[in-house]
């Protein structure tokens, strides 16, 4: 039996810990095994699989009340250490010198009232390696202000005199030493704080997202042909005579999927043809190493930070119209019930007939005369696609696929990056068609890899945690919409039916978003564990290898083990072992990209609202907290109404009713309730908006309630808007600053 296993199992049985000699005696370690035993014991301690206390006793984490987790710090100074099974509060004086996102060892103390508090014993690993901030110059002295809250740590910049820095210069620092005074050096000058685009660029760097590619990557890109050569077509099926189209947004440049549909006697034949990125991005290459580190492309308001250099993502790998491109095709015969009765997966090359947009296809399906005339050669194809997509959708609905249908904002900016409008993204028939076809191909390839027992990276979405389902069911019940399901063993179909039953209710957007937040986060794994939200037992990502690394991995596994029939067990074992770590990396990078995109959206929404300070809007209460509630406007802008601004009574958070209730008047603010609010503060730098409730008896100017899209002129701002001087504005701004820590922590929890 493995010695590591013996030691860990022994210490699990002795919950109070054992000393060195006791372990030797109980395991009957012989003299000739002594050196190996010492090395193994030290290895387990160094890897934090077992622990020691001040008396040099060894034990599992339960023996000493230790936990290993990730530190989250609130701007007010306290923090939480979170791990898979729970979390613990850390008082400011117990944070030591830890930074946000550090992996730490914490001692958990049980309080007399049953509460738990933690004390950080050791920093296992620092997460933050780069810091973005602003150089301030005052009286010829330079100092550094980090953009994020870093536990009030001070910085020593070792090369600050090497640069000619002016006040409000944004810089990227690389940390060299994590002492009490953090030593760092300037790695990059980002630009002047108020220059166009610097705000987004700073946020990207803050999340470790670099728009530039390393020189060795760019050197390798120049060696790749910008057209398909004859030798590239070997052992590929020629599909260039088929009518195949791409359908994407009008501003898309990385076209990685193309489709065609043919009506058959028994149903339809669907072809999904995906750019063969793995042919150009080889294992062991600098391009592949960089793509692995990035994990995904990042899409923010006015730019894309691609996973691959543009010569690949917009060039030879993009399925641009009327030119030959290398692809991997998944061709499926689908019956009238939406079941795949036969399929083929093979390497191919295509020449797309048309580069279609969602708008154009929607016009064709709406029988717009001009669009139908212009695209007469593909109108029947579009109709067949529509019919097949509806068949696939019916099947998924029967399986229990959940359509959350949440609102998504599209922020419109001018040439300088200033937000000028916020619109809701719309999903019409064409968008749904492509979604249906991509899901079908992803499911087909997942089932293929699974049943052939080939290495793969699957997209999994696990069953919701009962605790979160119970909370959702409780809130839904309080709002008058009981969930008809056993929350300990809930099925996708039950949640689907619940959302469908309230689809036409005003509360739908709130409950839909709340249910989404109650779900587990989808992630990547080398095991096929199914996708709860889609109601599928097999699922992966195959259809976007230009912008997602897991899709590229799936293509590579298909080529190695299916197209080229590699049958070497040691290679398969090595790939499966690597896949485990790669899945964690891809999941982490996806999460980071989502957080970055949300941070940019929050910043631009707050910047947009800076022009409407003093204006009045109608919104819906989206979240209740102990320090106030968040109100969401129709255009998805969300702002905090702090409890201190509710002047008509003293309000308390009723956790059972999930409401803020007045102490004397018993007035309650609840989820989904419509309220009128005035925007009293907005700051792009804090990424936050502050509202105050307008009493119902107060008269409201009609123009202020309905205005979203058009910003007021500079004259209007000067006379009534941009710097509102109402009775509570100055006080409110101070309180907004004081409580922004509570707000940011709550928003991170909800995200």
Q: Give the pLDDT score at 114.
A: 64
Task: Kindly report, residue by residue over 613-662, the tens digit of the pLDDT.
Answer: 999 999 999 999 989 999 999 999 999 999 999 998 999 998 888 899 99
638-642/651-654 β-pairing = unpaired
Count structural domains, the chain: 6
- Give the Cβ contact number of residue 366 at 10 Å: 11
Task: Kindly state whether residue 311 falls inside one of the protein's structural domains.
Answer: yes
DSSP letters for 434-472 = HHHHHHHHHHHHHHHHHHTT----EEEBPPPPHHHHHHH
For residue 177, the Cα-to-chain-centroid distance in whole angstroms is 30
CATH number of domain containing 12 = 1.10.10
DSSP class of 378: G
CB of 330 closer than 8 Å to CB of 295: no
Task: Kindly state whether residue 606 falls inside one of the protein's structural domains.
Answer: no
Same domain flag for 168 and 116 = no
CB of 173 closer than 8 Å to CB of 165: no
Identify which has the larger pLDDT, 56 or 411: 411
Structural domain that includes position 581:
218-460+526-600
Task: Kindly report, residue by residue over 249-297, the tens digit of the pLDDT.
Answer: 998 989 999 999 999 999 999 999 999 999 999 999 999 999 999 999 9
Coil/strand/helix, residue 298: strand
Same domain flag for 41 and 161 = no
Identify which has the larger pLDDT, 166 or 695: 166
What average pLDDT is seen over the chain? Answer: 89
Phi and psi torsions of 181, nearest 5°: -100, 110
Among candidate residues 18, 37, 62, the one where a domain is terminated: 62
pLDDT above 90 as % of the chain: 69
Same domain flag for 380 and 257 = yes
DSSP class of 296: B
Task: Kindly state whether residue 745 falls inside one of the protein's structural domains.
Answer: yes
Q: Tell me the three-class secondary structure of 533-584, residue by residue.
A: CCCECCCECCCCCCCEHHHHHHHHHHHHHHHCCCCCHHHHHHHHHHHHHHHH
Same domain flag for 240 and 178 = no
154-157/181-192 β-pairing = parallel
Same domain flag for 727 and 710 = yes
CB of 419 closer than 8 Å to CB of 604: yes
Same domain flag for 581 and 619 = no
- How far apart CA 189 and CA 149 sit, in angstroms, is 21
Among candidate residues 548, 567, 600, the one where a domain is terminated: 600
DSSP letters for 109-128 = EE-TTS-EEEEEEEEEE---
Token couple for 392:
């696939």
Given pLDDT bands bounded at 50, 70 and 90, which one contains residue 689?
A: very high
Q: What is the mean pLDDT of residues 315-330?
A: 97
Task: Kindly report, residue by residue over 331-376, the tens digit of the pLDDT.
Answer: 999 999 999 999 999 999 999 999 999 999 999 999 999 999 999 9
Task: Kindly report, residue by residue over 482-520, the tens digit of the pLDDT.
Answer: 999 999 999 999 999 999 999 988 889 889 999 999 999
Q: What is the mean pLDDT of residues 736-742?
A: 44
User: Which H helix or E strand runs over 196?
Assistant: none
Most confident option among 33-37, 116-120, 547-551: 547-551
- How far apart CA 609 and CA 636 sit, in angstroms, is 12
Q: What is the mean pLDDT of residues 195-222?
A: 95
Same domain flag for 43 and 93 = no
* CA nearest neighbour of 290 among 206, 216, 198: 216
- How far apart CA 524 and CA 540 sit, in angstroms, is 8
Q: Is the pLDDT of residue 234 over 50?
A: yes
CB of 319 closer than 8 Å to CB of 276: no
This prediction has a pTM of 0.85
Task: Kindly state whether residue 652 falls inside one of the protein's structural domains.
Answer: yes
Task: Kindly state whether residue 259 falls inside one of the protein's structural domains.
Answer: yes
* CA nearest neighbour of 405 among 301, 500, 484, 544: 500
Q: Give the pLDDT score at 168.
A: 95
Task: Kindly state whether residue 423 falls inside one of the protein's structural domains.
Answer: yes
Q: Give the pLDDT score at 112.
A: 65
Q: Is the pLDDT of residue 716 over 50?
A: no
User: Which H helix or E strand runs over 91?
Assistant: none
Q: Is the pLDDT of residue 715 over 50?
A: no
Task: Kindly state whether residue 304 falls inside one of the protein's structural domains.
Answer: yes
Same domain flag for 651 and 585 = no
- Give the Cβ contact number of residue 85 at 10 Å: 7
CATH number of domain containing 630 = 2.40.50.140
Same domain flag for 175 and 285 = no
Among candidate residues 75, 93, 125, the one where a domain is terminated: 125
* CA nearest neighbour of 327 among 274, 258, 270: 274
Same domain flag for 712 and 684 = yes
Given pLDDT bands bounded at 50, 70 and 90, which one contains residue 705?
A: very low
- How far apart CA 695 and CA 634 sit, in angstroms, is 20
Task: Kindly state whether residue 213 falls inside one of the protein's structural domains.
Answer: no
Q: Is the pLDDT of residue 723 over 80?
A: no
Same domain flag for 55 and 119 = no
Token couple for 646:
């509710």
Q: Is the pLDDT of residue 704 over 80?
A: no
User: Which H helix or E strand runs over 29?
Assistant: none
CA atoms within 13 A on the CB side of 742: 18
Coil/strand/helix, residue 133: strand
- How far apart CA 404 and CA 406 sit, in angstroms, is 5
CA atoms within 13 A on the CB side of 492: 21
Q: Is the pLDDT of residue 426 over 80?
A: yes
**Residue in the structure block whose two tokens are 């409950």:** 511
CB of 91 closer than 8 Å to CB of 98: no
CB of 620 closer than 8 Å to CB of 672: yes
Q: Give the pLDDT score at 722.
A: 34
Same domain flag for 681 and 569 = no
Given pLDDT bands bounded at 50, 70 and 90, which one contains residue 418?
A: very high
Q: What is the mean pLDDT of residues 406-413?
A: 91
Coil/strand/helix, residue 405: coil
Task: Kindly report, residue by residue over 118-164, the tens digit of the pLDDT.
Answer: 889 889 999 999 999 999 999 889 999 999 888 888 999 999 999 99
* CA nearest neighbour of 486 among 509, 469, 506, 503: 469
Q: Give the pLDDT score at 700.
A: 45
């Amino acid at each position: 039996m493995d010695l590591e296993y013996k030691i860990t199992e022994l210490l699990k049985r002795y919950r109070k810990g054992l000393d060195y000699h006791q372990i030797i005696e109980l395991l009957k370690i012989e003299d000739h095994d002594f050196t190996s035993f010492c090395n193994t014991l030290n290895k387990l301690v160094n890897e934090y699989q077992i622990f020691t206390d001040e008396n040099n006793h060894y034990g599992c984490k339960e023996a000493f009340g230790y936990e290993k987790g990730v530190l989250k710090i609130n701007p007010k100074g306290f923090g939480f250490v979170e791990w898979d099974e729970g979390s613990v509060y850390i008082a400011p004086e117990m944070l030591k010198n830890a930074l946000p996102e550090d992996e730490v060892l914490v001692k958990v103390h049980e309080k007399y009232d049953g509460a738990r508090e933690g004390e950080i014993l050791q920093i296992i690993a620092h997460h933050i390696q780069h810091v973005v901030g602003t150089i301030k110059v005052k009286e010829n002295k330079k100092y550094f202000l980090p953009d994020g809250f870093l536990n009030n740590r001070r910085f020593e910049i070792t090369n600050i005199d090497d640069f000619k820095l002016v006040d409000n210069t944004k810089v990227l620092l690389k940390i060299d030493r994590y002492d009490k005074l953090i030593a760092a050096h300037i790695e990059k000058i980002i630009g002047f704080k108020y220059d166009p685009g610097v705000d987004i660029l700073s946020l990207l760097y803050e999340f470790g997202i670099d728009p530039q590619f390393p020189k060795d990557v760019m050197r390798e890109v120049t060696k790749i042909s910008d057209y398909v050569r004859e030798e590239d077509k070997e052992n590929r099926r020629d599909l260039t005579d088929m009518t195949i189209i791409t359908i994407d947004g009008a501003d898309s440049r990385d076209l990685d999927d193309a489709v065609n549909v043919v009506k058959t006697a028994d149903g339809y034949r669907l072809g999904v043809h995906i750019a063969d990125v793995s042919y150009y991005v080889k294992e062991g290459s600098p391009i592949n190493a960089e793509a692995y580190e990035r994990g995904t492309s990042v899409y923010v308001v006015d730019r894309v930070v691609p996973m691959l250099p543009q010569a690949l993502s917009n060039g030879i790998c993009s399925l641009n119209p009327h030119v030959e491109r290398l692809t991997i095709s998944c061709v499926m015969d689908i019956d009238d019930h939406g079941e795949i009765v036969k399929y083929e997966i093979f390497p191919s090359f295509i020449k797309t007939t048309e580069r279609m947009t969602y708008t154009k296809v929607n016009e064709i399906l709406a029988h717009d005369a001009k669009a139908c005339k212009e695209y007469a050669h593909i109108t029947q194809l579009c109709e067949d696609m529509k019919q097949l997509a509806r068949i696939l959708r019916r099947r998924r609905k029967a399986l229990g696929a959940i359509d959350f249908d949440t609102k998504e904002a599209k922020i419109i900016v001018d040439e300088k990056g200033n937000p000028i409008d916020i619109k809701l993204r719309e999903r019409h028939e064409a968008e749904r068609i492509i979604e249906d076809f991509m899901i079908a191909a992803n499911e087909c390839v997942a089932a293929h890899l699974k049943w052939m027992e080939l290495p793969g990276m699957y997209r999994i979405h696990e069953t919701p945690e009962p605790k979160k389902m119970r909370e959702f069911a409780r809130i839904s019940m309080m709002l008058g919409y009981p969930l008809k399901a056993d929350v300990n063993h809930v099925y996708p179909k039950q949640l689907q039916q619940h959302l469908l039953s309230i689809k036409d209710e005003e509360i739908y957007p709130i409950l839909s978003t709340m249910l989404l937040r109650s779900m587990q986060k989808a992630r990547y794994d080398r095991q096929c564990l199914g996708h709860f939200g889609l109601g599928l037992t097999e699922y992966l990502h195959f259809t976007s290898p230009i912008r997602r690394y897991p899709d590229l991995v799936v293509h590579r596994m298909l080529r190695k083990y299916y197209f080229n029939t590699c049958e070497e067990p040691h290679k398969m074992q090595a790939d499966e072992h690597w896949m485990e770590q790669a899945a964690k990396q891809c999941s982490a990078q996806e999460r980071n990209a989502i957080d970055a995109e949300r941070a940019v959206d929050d910043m631009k929404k707050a910047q947009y609202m800076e022009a409407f300070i003093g204006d009045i809007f109608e919104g819906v209460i989206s979240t209740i907290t102990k320090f106030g509630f968040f109100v969401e406007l129709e255009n998805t802008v969300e702002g905090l109404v702090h409890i201190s601004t509710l002047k008509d009574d003293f309000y308390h958070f009723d956790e059972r009713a999930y409401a803020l209730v007045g102490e004397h008047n018993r007035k309650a603010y609840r989820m989904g309730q419509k309220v009128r609010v005035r925007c009293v503060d907005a700051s792009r730098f804090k990424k936050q908006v502050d509202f105050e409730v307008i009493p119902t008896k107060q008269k409201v100017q009609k123009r202020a309630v309905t205005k979203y899209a058009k910003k007021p002129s500079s004259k209007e701002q000067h006379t009534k808007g941009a710097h509102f001087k109402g009775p509570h504005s100055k006080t409110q701004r101070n309180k907004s600053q004081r409580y922004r820590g509570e707000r940011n922590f709550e928003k991170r929890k909800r995200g």
